[in-house]
Amino acid sequence: MGALHRGPLRFSQFRRTLPTLSERMLILTLNKLESNGFIARNKTDGAQQQNTYMLTPLSRSLLEQISHLHLWMVDNASALQAAHDAVQASQDRT
């Protein structure tokens, strides 16, 4: 979904954006995201059938929440690291 935040993408553009993902896995993932209402697919008929994928209002609202979580994590990175280091140190002593 993150790849779509700039705008709609055709399948071939997705493939270039995610080169390490197999075509089969990309198809399965896009189908699952579509069936759950996170992306919409626009099919164009013609000599070359093209699928264009775009975010739905549901996914836009989710990405907004994820953005807030990301900002919180950035703001609290040092506290999170300190908590992790404290737990690691106590586990190393036992």
CATH, residue 69: 1.10.10.10
Q: Classify 54 in phi/psi space as left (phi over 0), alpha (psi -120 to 50) or beta.
A: beta
What pLDDT does residue 48 have?
Answer: 77
Q: Judging by beta carbons within 10 Å of its beta carbon (0-12, 13-18, 19+), is residue 72 exposed, middle or buried? A: exposed
What pLDDT does residue 20 have?
Answer: 93
The residue with greater pLDDT, 11 or 45, is 11
The total of structural domains in the chain comes to 1
Alpha helices by DSSP H, the chain: 11-17, 23-35, 57-75, 77-92
pLDDT in tens, 44-87: 877 777 889 999 999 999 999 999 999 999 999 999 999 999 99
Distance between CA atoms of residues 1 and 7, nearest Å:
10
Domain limits for position 29:
2-92
